[in-house]
Every structure is written in C-alpha cells, then in structure tokens.
Structure 1
C-alpha cells in the first residue's frame, strides 16, 4: 500500500490536534466509569464512549479533519476511499456535511448493513473484489482517473490529528492521575494521534495498544523495528484486520507507545459482555478490543486501585454475530471449561462420572459410544475462573479418568462441539482441514473445483458466525502418494487453511 506521506513534526501534531476540524460532525464523547467491571478487576476503568458518535465510531474524526482541509477545487472533484467498515461511514458523513461527492469502494462480501449505511449518507458504493486489497487497488485507480482525493483510513497526518482529539478530550475530562490508556490498533491512526498528544503533555501515562492475536501487525512491526507485512489476518475484529500498519503511524508508535498487548477472540467476546452489563450497549469486536487489553494487563501486572481508560471505539455490530459472541463470552472470561473425558464403557461409569461433577452447572454434554472399552464425553461446565478448570481436570485425572482440557482449542470450540459422534472407522487416508471461505455465491464450487475428483470429501461442517468469512471444517480422503498434489491445490486456491489432522479433538471424536 503506497502513500505519499508528508512527515509532520511532533510539535506540529500538537497544533494540528488542537486546531482539528472535527466538532462540526463529532461530539465530545463522554468518559464513563464502568462500575461492575471496575469492581471485578479491582481498578477504576473508564470507557471513552466513541461508540456514541453519529456513525457509531471514532473514524469520522479523522475523515472529516482531512476533508475539511481540502481546497474548494478538491472538494468539487470529490473524494474516494476503500473501506468495508467505519471509515467508509465517516467519509460518507463528512462528504454529506461538506457537500461533495464521495465514492466508497468495498469488497464484495461486505455485509449489506454497511453498504446501506454508506448509501444512506448519499455516497456512491462500489462493490468489487473479495478483499480489502482488491478494493484499495480499484479505489486508487479510480482516484487517478477522476482526480478525486483519496482519503486514507489511517496513514495521513490530518487523519492522525483528527483521531488525536480523543486524547485531548480525555485529559480535559479527567484531570486526576491516569495510570494507563488502552487503545485499539489496526493501521495505527488512532494510537499514533493519541500517543503523540498524551506523551507530550502527560509522559507518565502508559500508552498501551491492543491487537487481536491473529491481526498483530503493529506488535510485530515494533518488535522487528520495521513495518511487517502479514500474510493473512483474522477477520473476527474486522475493524482492525490490517496486514500492514502505516508508515507514519509506525514512526509515531515507535516513539510514543509503551507496549502492545495481544488478546484472543474469546477475550474480546467477554469484553463485549462486560460493556453490555455496565452500559447496555453492544460494541463491535474491534470496539471492545481495548477493554479486553485492560483486563489482561490488570491481571498480568496484579495492580489494584489504578485508573485505567479504554477506548470503546465502535458499535457497528452485525446482529448475526451476537450468537457467536454469546457462545464465546463465558470462555473468554474463563467461566466455562470445555473438557474431553474418557470413561470406561461399563455399567455405572456414566453415573459415577456425573457424580464426580457434583453440582457444577453443565453447559454442554455430548456422548458417543467409541468401542467396547472406552467412551468419550465432550462436556462444558461453568467455572468461576481458570484455576477452577485446572483443579477440575486434576480431580478427574486423580479418579483415573483421562481428561483433556479443550478450552483453548479453537477447532474444538468452533466445530467439534457440534460434530461429536462422527467416528468413521471405514474411512481411509482422511485428512482434516479448517478453512475460511469468503461469504459469497460460488465460494463452495470454487473450492470443489480445485480438488481432484479422486479425493472423496468424508466430512464437511459449516456454521455461519455472522462474519464476512465462513468457517468450514473438511475431511478429505487423499492417498499418501497424492499429498503433494493436494497441498499444491490448496495453495493455488488461496483460501486461508489450517491442517487439523493431528488435532487431539479430531483424534478423539471424529477420526
């Protein structure tokens, strides 16, 4: 992603932030105490409610600041951007306010709710390609052809300064000491703008970025001391699913960010639930990222009575995702344990196992006859914390029951819990792979056409999780002498995939 960046001095950034044109469209969002979450983690945690902005995200700040600084001729020529999310809505609102034409190029799998939101602001929406990179390439081409100004979502000093106004508001709203501020990181525009302001005025405040474990471009870049290009990124927190951070955002983060924390999807789901319980508002996954980071940091550092601020950065949630988030929230809070337990296939053993579980609340229970000696049980139980899970496993093992903790096993949580009982002894040479399919017509046929007709599909499981990509589990019978050809076919298909053949959950319940 090439961008001609005019480097801005850090002193100039202070002036740019203080004089940013954001309040024609943005509100000064409230800074609110989260009382229930604060009591639970033993620290005062405040939420900067950017989810309450007119487009339900902070992104309108940077977009409007950039566009308000354009000349009359540039506005007349219009603006263009590539985005499937909150930046698109920010640009559309800014264009509506400034009376200029906006073209938003979006990947074809973009949910209709986001397309409709852009059109409702009067912008033109163009759907093209399967990925953001496809949309970006087309948008840049259109900008060159039409003379429209490309509004970058993060790697532009005016955009960075617009996002930095959030830090200005926080320091004005909370004059008492602040220990740390947690900021979600995608391309880096938000953390760059906030960090340069905070560190120049209050250098003692820790500035901590938060990224998903599977979309950690900034963390890897800071570690390598140069921008790193990720080969693929996870799409659950789609608002921060960026393969490479910006040039200028990386420079500022290198100077002013204290640390980047990585969190998993379950922790993000738990944070969404935490915010809902305190505010009755539902954040999108990237919007709850900083809350998950604040919780992890608080537990890791074992601090008490600290003042922590987390940016609730957005609430453009697809309704269909709520099912998945509700399922995973308890796991993220470590309040549910997922176990695979082997019990004797003898009369009375099932009752004995249930007796060992005692009064614990069972959230899921799957059983299937395995053979004349053993039976495998897939069970979910509510627990107060992670240590209780560990103690439960130890107790079962002490009672001579082989127990495997699957709480952190992604395939078990996504697929196997819905497929227990699928042993097929007659299936030979089976390989098991997990895929991410684009949610668009023809994706399945494209996959099937890439495979040799000699390879039989012996297992196929799909479940819609409300994301732009579907998670699919596939068992395929491939003779050993054709494995190289098989792997070449998968690489040519270019769908993200993971080999799960050696996954212990598969070995116990499906192979």
Structure 2
C-alpha cells in the first residue's frame, strides 16, 4: 500500500462504472460455465466472453464511454490515440458512431490486418516508429498541435470506468458470488475497473492478476511500491505487452489486487488450446492469459476451491501466428517433451533408444552423424502431463541413456528444432548471440547491414512467427582476445541481445 494519498476515490469510480455509457456499441457478453475445464481443474470455471465483442475485445467499452463524454466542441476537434490493436479498433468504432474524426498512430511493426481493421471502421492511421512508445509520443504531439483529444488506452478514469462494466456484468450474471476473478494485466485498465466494482459489491471475492513472465508490469511496480518501467518487454502476448503500468491504474490495483501470477508463453499457448476446445474460438495470447493463470494457480494448489471467473479479453490474433501457438501449446500443457539424448555412436544403440521410448508417440527426431564416440539426438515426444516427463527420464536411465530435458530451453524451442546443418570446425572459436528486432519491412536487412563484417558469421537462424518482434540466432568466429571488440560492434545494431554460447542446447548440437 502506497503511503501517498490515493489518486482515485474508489466510491467515485464505482459510481462512474454504474453510469458508464457503453451499451451503444458494447455487448453484454456471456459468462459461460466451461464443463470440461471445470472437471479437469476440480472447480467451476466460468468464461467471461469479451472475445465476442464486435471488435473482438473489451476495449470497445472504455473507448465508447470516453468518446460518449466528449463535448460538442471536443467532437468537432476529433480524437487521436496510439495503439497497435484493440484500443485502436475501439476508438475507431466509437468515433464513427459519435461522428467525430479519429486518427490512430500505430507502430510500423503493426500487422497489416490490424491496420486494415482500424481503417475499415473509418479512422485514419499513421504508422510511426517501431514501438508503442514512439507512436504514443507522436499522437500526443499531434493532439497538442491540432487540438484533438488524446485518449489513453488505459490510464484515464473514463476508460477505466468503461472497462469496469465487465465486472458489473459478471456479478449480475453469475448464479453465485464467485470466489475469484482472474484478470489479464497490461496497462491495468481492465483490472482496475473490474476490481473496483467486484470488491465494492463482494469484498471477499479474490482479484487475481495474471501477467506474462516477459511483461510483469504490475508485479514489478508492486514490488517497487510505485509504477516502474520495465527495461524490456516480451511482445508475444502483444495485447498486454506494456512497459509501464498506468499511474491511475496502479493506484487502484495496488489497493484491490489480492495476488499476481506470472505465466510463460508456453502456458499461454496451452490456454489458447484449452479455450478453443471449450468454445471452438481461437483467442489471442492476451485473451487466454487469465485462464493460463487459473490453470497454473490450480496446479500449484493455491487456487480458491469455489467458482472462478476467467476473463477472455480478446480474439484479435493474426492467422500466421496460429501455427506458432499450436506448436508451443503442447509444451505448455505438458503434453510434449523436448529433450537431448546422448547415445553411443555404434550399431544397436539406436534400437536400444527406441526400446527405451516404448510406445510413446514421437513428434520429431533430429540426428546427424559425427565422428565421435557419442551421438546427440534431439527428440520430441507426446507426454500425458508435466509429471510424465519425469517418467521418461527414469525409463531412459534404465537403458543407460542420459537425457537433458529441453522443454523449457528457449534456444532449443525457438531455433534449434527448426535448424539444419552440423557443428563448426574445432579449429575456430565461435560465440553465439540471440537478437531481437522489430518485425517490420526491411528490419532483417537493416540488422544484417548493421553487423560489422570484421567477423565471419558461422551460424544464422531466423524464423518469422507473425509477431511484432523478430528473433535471430547468430554465430560469429572470433579470434582470441577479440571478444570486447565484438561486443562493442554488436551493440551498435541497437537491438536487444543475449549471449547463448553457454546454452546446453548449443553445447549438445552445435558446438565443436
């Protein structure tokens, strides 16, 4: 709890939610029992279906409420916003309904399908910079120069109040008071609004915040006692990939949130699959975030026993990302195991390995002959659950086969299982780096141009996943004593990077 005076009065916020003007455009979405999930998790699981809004996201609520409050003078000046997706569509739709001009500033990295969606609602789009921050700065500058009203995606009380109508509907629709509501968190607008209503009506209902491990903006700020900017953000769940929680939303959240759960990208993908099996709908990663949190909470034995509501916040997912989500879903659910096995490079060893696998279904098998006494193979197999992975290790040990579980190894999952080739020469020193860069036209070329040609590139792997961020694995041959110069040169690319030379996956399959 902050020692400073609260910025927002919770009684006033509840009143603002009660009077919020959202239903000109927003639907009262259903709150549906998910029987299969309820059975699997041993508690009643209810899905609040914000993915069924006409713009496929809860963001229409806050946008509509904010624009409905504009004066005639403000509507004449128009509105502007910065967003790469859901907020943009909400503003565009509401602006068209209330007959005011809307200009949306979006990063250059925004997928074309999202730009087209905003334009289809009648808004003008302007692509600026590689990140939300750059687009936001441009939008604020435009507002100052033109007189247009800048509408923040989460840090305005009118927007928070609009999102809070989700919480009001949940309590009106549920047959019993829920024990917990699981809410995805990015900038904090949804959890602030929902939390304010739910806690005012049902103080004993737990408000559980769920964040990606790569973007823990609320958790980091709670630990610091104030809104804190993250140094970097994983953009996989792009709907919540925010570097800094709002000032007002943090003020509310720190008073109302009972617990924060962070989940991995694989756990999010597994939850996307669970939502599909429950509803036959493909939600975006951020849309499944809250369910991933409930599943993890349950596995840890920490989830409340009674009714739990999960907010499915949106379904704006690019088609070309679905394959990547499917690929990672089974790892996240414990239904696939990726591991490296060391087997003797001699006749009969492969048969012994297959006997150790037994009747398990193999999802992939990668092997390349080397002039060595030991061969390393990269194997993917179907498993029943996370505990079953331990049994695999035990079964292999009975056949004198040593394995290393790489199911959570980022290098193995993101790059190695998609690569071809072998090991580099033993006579050449090699270092491996992982880079991230904005996924926009020309970005990969810009990256290659930025690399100093003083060092020979010995390995290169890039794969497009339909995300706003691209990932490259790159190897360099470095003469002795030249590492400092290499680091200095690579830093000039301006892209986040991390050395992976000590990775187990690299050691088994790529190192000389």
TM over 0.5: yes
Kindly state the Cα deviation for residue 303 of structure 1 after the two structures are TM-superposed. 5.5
Does 2:313 match 1:318?
no
The C-alpha deviation readout for 1:29-82, integer Å capped at 9, x for no partner, is: 000111111111111111000000010000010111111111110011000000
CA gap of 1:207–1:419, structure 2 versus 1, over 3 A, is: same
Inter-CA distance 163–76: structure 2 relative to 1 (3 Å threshold) = same
Q: Hey, what does 1:8 align to over in structure 2?
A: 8
In the TM superposition, what is the alpha-carbon distance from 1:220 to its structure 2 partner?
0.8
- In the other structure, the counterpart of 1:64 is 64
Superposition deviation, residue 225 in structure 1: 1.0
What do you get for the CA RMSD once the two structures are aligned?
1.4
- Matched-pair contact (CA < 8 Å) for 2:352–2:399: no
Please tell me whether residue 222 in structure 1 is matched to residue 222 in structure 2: yes
Cα distance change of structure 1 residues 32 and 467 upon mapping to structure 2, 3 Å threshold: same
Match of 1:3 in 2: none
Structure 1 residues 302 and 147, CA gap change in structure 2 (3 angstroms): closer
Residue 125 of structure 2 is matched in structure 1 by: 125
* Contact 2:179–2:304 (8 Å) recurs in 1: no
SS of residue paired to 1:208? strand
CA deviation string 1:108-146 (max 9, x = no partner): 111010000111011000011111111111111100000
Separation of aligned partners in 1, 2:452 and 2:138: 34
SS of residue paired to 1:310: strand
User: Which segments of 5 or more consecutive residues in structure 1 lack a partner in the other structure?
Assistant: 1-5
Q: What's the TM-score, normalizing by structure 2?
A: 0.97
Aligned to 2:345: 345
1:144 and 2:121 equivalent? no
Shift of residue 420 of structure 1? Answer: 5.5
Is structure 2 residue 373 aligned with structure 1 residue 368?
no
**Cα distance, 1:456 vs structure 2:** 0.7
Equivalent residue, structure 2, for 1:53: 53
The equivalent of 2:429 in structure 1 is: 429
Does the aligned pair in 2 maintain the 1:420–1:509 contact within 8 Å? Answer: no
Higher alpha-carbon deviation: 396-405 or 114-123: 396-405
Cα contact 1:367–1:420 (8 A) shared by 2: no
Cα displacement (A) at 1:407? 0.6
Query: Tell me, what secondary structure is at the counterpart of 1:453?
Result: coil
For the residues of structure 1 that align with 2:476 and 2:404, how far apart are their CA atoms? 26
- The number of aligned residues is 506
Corresponding residue of 2:33: 33
Give 1:399 shift. 2.7
Match of 2:384 in 1: 384
Matched, 1:24 2:24: yes
Q: Is the 8 A contact 1:429 1:477 kept in 2?
A: yes
- The aligned counterpart of 1:206 is 206
Displacement of 1:302 in angstroms is: 5.7
Aligned partners of 1:268, 1:438: CA distance in 2, in Å?
Answer: 22
Mapped to 2, the partners of 1:319 and 1:434 lie a distance apart of: 26
After the TM superposition, list the runs of 4 or more consecutive aligned residues in structure 1 that deviate by more than 3 angstroms. 302-305
What secondary structure, in the 3-state scheme, does the structure 1 residue paired with 2:435 have?
strand
Question: Are 1:107 and 1:130, in contact at CA under 8 Å, matched by a contact in 2?
Answer: yes
In 1, Cα distance between the equivalents of 2:292 and 2:202?
24
Q: Kindly provide the CA deviation profile for residues 334-358 of structure 1, in whole angstroms up to 9, marking residues without a partner as x.
A: 1111110000111101001101111
Partner of 2:358: 358
Match of 2:93 in 1: 93
Is the aligned partner of 1:235 residue 2:218? no
Gaps of 5+ in 2: 1-5
* Distance in 2, Cα, partners of 1:441 & 1:25: 35
1:366–1:420 contact (8 Å) kept in structure 2: no
* Aligned counterparts of 2:235 and 2:377: Cα–Cα separation in 1: 31
Partner in structure 1 of residue 509 of structure 2: 509
Kept after mapping to 2: 8 A contact 1:433/1:475: yes
Residue deviations 1:228-275, cap 9 Å, x none? Answer: 111110011000000000001001111000011000000111111101
d(CA) in 1 for partners of 2:304, 2:255 = 28
Give the match for residue 173 of structure 2.
173
